[in-house]
Chain A
Amino acid sequence: AQTVTQSQPEMSVQEAETVTLSCTYDTSESDYYLFWYKQPPSRQMILVIRQEAYKQQNATENRFSVNFQKAAKSFSLKISDSQLGDAAMYFCAYRSATNNNDMRFGAGTRLTVKP
């Protein structure tokens, strides 16, 4: 079974600075999807960014971008110009392209933003 590993339980960043959250995954599949979800104190999960494995270009959504390294099975999230509202738990997730119901989540990274 696929596994997702987030090696940083906690991270902190100064407001307006840049931070990178790490994620690695284990799979034997060649086609899949990767996601970063944010869980703020309200505890509702919100999609931050999504990457298709067959696309070489890294996904970008405003201040959020990913560094997708398929060979290394790495999928890091970069947050630029960090804002206080970015403080949350961030979860990396993997979904198989052959089983749309099989989504695996990492244990999460808690991000603190210091004013």
Chain B
Amino acid sequence: GQNIDQPTEMTATEGAIVQINCTYQTSGFNGLFWYQQHAGEAPTFLSYNVLDGLEEKGRFSSFLSRSKGYSYLLLKELQMKDSASYLCAVMDSNYQLIWGAGTKLIIKP
């Protein structure tokens, strides 16, 4: 079967750095997405990786290792507004997104 695993919840301090991990087992791989979802709102796109390595976009970076079925999202200089759920999703061989359950990130002052 297809499976995406992420930690359920993480806590970090304002101004710090946090890494959210995602491991996956899917039928085929056509890229990995990270989305942010604030409570009660719709998911919004953060990043896309299809090749191994690190993609940096401002305070957010995303890393992919296809051989290990592993990705992480790195958030730097955490702000209170970063409190949200972070969703990992893999595009499978049918070009459908398989979603993880999300990691709820709590930022403390």
Answer whether A and B are interacting partners: no
